Amino acid sequence: MNESIQTYHAFLQGEDREIANLLYMEISAQLPEAEGKKWHGHPVWFLAGNPVVGYAKRKDGINLMFWSGQSFDEPLLKKEGKFQAAEIRYTAARELNSTDLKRWLKKARDIQWDYKNIVKRKGVLERLR
């Protein structure tokens, strides 16, 4: 585990830590080519420098976010922000569905919007895949 992600997990407690550990293991297994690191204070995975998935502690649980998730056509993922991100919130480890998570992670690899160059393009997103 990346040292910065390990430090992030160390500050989590109880159910939140269990959720984060499960997410970490599944993301690492399904996206072995992705670079995982702490970015803007939270664990995020990148493919070719483009953020694709990450999670963060929130007041009421752990938030799992897919940067291109609105294009996944997945009803459990809720729109987040004004771009293409979508998220799901977990309050208990038993809520994680491995089948859903694997499918979403495959889509995270296959469907990507170019967040890496969003500043250069003045806020305009272009689809990569």
Is 126 inside any structural domain? no
Is 120 inside any structural domain? no
- Cα 118 to Cα 99: distance, rounded to the nearest angstrom: 31
Report the CATH number that the domain containing residue 51 is assigned in CATH: 3.90.1150.200
Helix, strand or coil, per DSSP, at residue 1? coil
pLDDT digit string (tens) for the chain, length 129 residues: 889 999 999 999 999 999 999 999 999 999 999 999 999 999 999 999 999 999 999 999 999 999 999 999 999 999 998 788 999 999 999 999 999 999 999 999 999 867 677 667 666 667 676
Number of domains in the chain: 1
- Cα 19 to Cα 39: distance, rounded to the nearest angstrom: 19
Whether this prediction's pTM lies above 0.85 is answered by yes
Is 129 inside any structural domain? no
Is 123 inside any structural domain? no
Residue whose structure tokens are 């070719």: 48
10: CB partners within 8 A, 6+ apart: none
Is 80 inside any structural domain? yes
Instruction: Please list, residue by residue across 94-115, b when 16 or more beta carbons sit within 10 angstroms of its beta carbon and e when fewer do.
Output: eebeeeebeebbebbeebbbbb
For residue 30, give its domain range: 3-110
75: CB partners within 8 A, 6+ apart: none
In the chain, where does DSSP find H-type helix?
3-10, 14-30, 98-110
